[in-house]
Structure 1
């Protein structure tokens, strides 16, 4: 699977994993599961930022919650951390008789995370692949964003970008000032539309031929 590097807000994690924002916040507050890129001051906007690994782990927990109790998951987390720093995303997990099982590294046996009992089990579906597909679909550009400029604190350091992309407005301006036409600029950034470049040129009173 291609390594996906991305940051997700708590709202996006809610949509992709099925976990409520209140549950995600609660898990963060009681240190059961905390976002990898969180600020100390959780009251500030966008203070909880989740990585793709967090997304996989939380979707795994969402699936496990349908099969085992939270009390068991908390106990299992303590045991599983002995085998992995990120047990919910790095280990292949199984559920047998309402208990979380896993396969220790270098072993062919599947054992209970809490009980240690050996069992035959059916693995959960590939959560990582499922989350990658869903997150990529979510990130597909909305046509309503074409021709617009936006600014977000956690996108390209807060500098203005073409809406729905990570293309800096300053980069478009630099190409325009260097004499690139709209078509030539789009060749540099195939995800852009003519309206995107025109929006930058209009806002900054630059003129270029198509």
Structure 2
């Protein structure tokens, strides 16, 4: 399945992140992959391996469209498969200009070249889904997901899908052990921050004290 990102964002998303952004359960994503209805852009041959399914930004945008079509408009699985192929083959310009129209559970694309609706019966009402709006909404939600909440500042967390369950600064992928290695080498908090400018003083201090507590234990 060809993929051409509809924007300048270069991102990769785990199954859990894809589920959060699209509203599709992880089990459903895996089923769609297994049945080849929709396969992630970055997929390992062995799907049992960690991070064997990684979704691109376009994957997320396309999945959001498919989720709306199946849940709100009851579009058939067979037709969803056709729509998925079409979405994943479109380039940047087509995503920016194309609007989908749903009529009687059938999805029709407006041809970006001539602006004409394909397979729409004249005079019948069709519901429009501008893909440009889907992309902008997806960008917004990705940005919100990537932003750290105030409750994460100065805290440490572990997650089985982040750095192999090693302790990291909450809301980031920065390992606590990396911060500790700088501290052990004599770096001050401010010097460590210069190495990790996205972290706060509280983050650095939390990482150092977290390791100290574990040693004391």
TM-score, scaled to structure 2: 0.69
Unaligned runs of 5+ in 1: 206-210
Q: 2:76 & 2:7 partners in 1: Cα distance?
A: 33
The structural deviation recorded for 1:35 is 0.8
Decide which of 61, 78, 88 is 1:71's aligned counterpart. 78
Q: What are the Cα deviations for residues 158-198 of structure 1, in whole angstroms up to 9, with x where unaligned?
A: 99753322446676567657865323543554432223212
Aligned twin of 1:197: 204
Cα separation, partners in 2 of 1:6 and 1:32, compared to 1, 3 Å: same
1:46-82 deviations in whole A, cap 9, x for unaligned? 321111111101001111112222222234456x37x
Name the counterpart of 2:156: 148
Within the alignment, does 1:57 sit opposite 2:65 as a pair? no
Distance in 2 between residues matched to 1:133 and 1:146, nearest whole Å: 25
Q: Does the 8 A contact of 1:111 with 1:118 survive in 2? A: no
Structure 2: gaps of 5 or more residues = 1-5, 213-217
Q: Is the 8 A contact 1:93 1:100 kept in 2?
A: no
How many correspondences in the alignment? 197
Query: Larger % of helix: which?
Result: 2
1:110, 1:74 → 2: CA distance? 20
Structure with more contact order per residue of length (Cα contacts < 8 Å, sep ≥ 6): 2
SS in 2 for 1:111: coil
Tell me the distance in 1 between the aligned counterparts of 2:184 and 2:7. Answer: 36
Whether the 8 Å CA contact 1:147–1:193 is kept in 2: the answer is no
Deviations 1:78-130 (A, max 9, x none): 6x37xx6258x954342242321112242221213xxx767885531511111
Does residue 101 in structure 1 map to residue 105 in structure 2?
no
C-alpha deviations, 1:27-58, integer Å up to 9, x for none? 10011100111211112333211111111010
> Helix, strand or coil: the match of 1:45?
coil
